[in-house]
Structure 1
Amino acid sequence: MAGGWTRDGAIQDQIDDTVADALEQARSAMPTGQSEPFCVECGEAIPEARRLAVPGVRTCIACQSQRDGQRAVAGFNRRGSKDSQLR
């Protein structure tokens, strides 16, 4: 596919880089280390199955679901358009 002044495949490279960045960000946000037996937010016991499935877990499922709903993802524009540079 022709992309104007770009080389062939440059658009797919941008897509691949965006996906790779999102994966890296998600992996870096995952907990590591020893799991907590009780939720650090509400104090409820964290089931053993969850502690084994997610190493380093610190919150129960209910609290984690609430935290995930509050998370906002801010990306960046790889195309470098003039509008994105002015913000």
Structure 2
Amino acid sequence: MAGGWTRDGAVQDQIDDTVKDAVALARALTPHGPSAEDCDDCGEPIPPKRRAALAGVRTCIACQAERDKAVRHSAINRRGSKDSQLR
């Protein structure tokens, strides 16, 4: 169902593009390569099971949890902005 000036499927295309962008960003931020044996932040040993589960891990679970709290995400969906569609 198209609305206004949009073609059929345009809204779904916006959703798909947003998901693809999020997946690409997550893949880019995922560590790769050899894992560290000690945490880069606190120096504590990283458990062998964590190193085996996630290649390229550089932090222990506690330090990674703190890093994850500091991540900010944009609350604005620029592709789906009604203001941009009205202009």
- TM-score bin, normalised by smaller chain: 0.7 to 0.9
Q: Which consecutive unaligned segments of at least 5 residues does structure 1 have?
A: 83-87
Equivalents in 2 of 1:77, 1:10: separation in Å? 14
Q: Runs in 1 of length 4+ with deviation above 6 angstroms?
A: none
Equivalents in 1 of 2:3, 2:61: separation in Å? 45
Alignment of 1:1-20 (within 5 A): 1-20=1-20
Alignment of 1:1-87 (within 5 A): 1-74=1-74, 77-79=78-80, 81-82=83-84
Equivalents in 1 of 2:78, 2:52: separation in Å? 38
Q: Which consecutive unaligned segments of at least 5 residues does structure 2 have?
A: none
Q: What letter is aligned with 1:59?
A: T
Give 1:78 shift.
1.2
**How many aligned positions are there?**
82
Equivalents in 2 of 1:16, 1:61: separation in Å? 32
Larger RCO (CA under 8 A, 6+ residues apart): 2
Give 1:79 shift.
3.8
**Taking structure 2 as the reference length, what is the TM-score of the superposition?**
0.87
**Taking structure 1 as the reference length, what is the TM-score of the superposition?**
0.87
Question: How high is the sequence identity, in percent, across the aligned residues?
Answer: 56
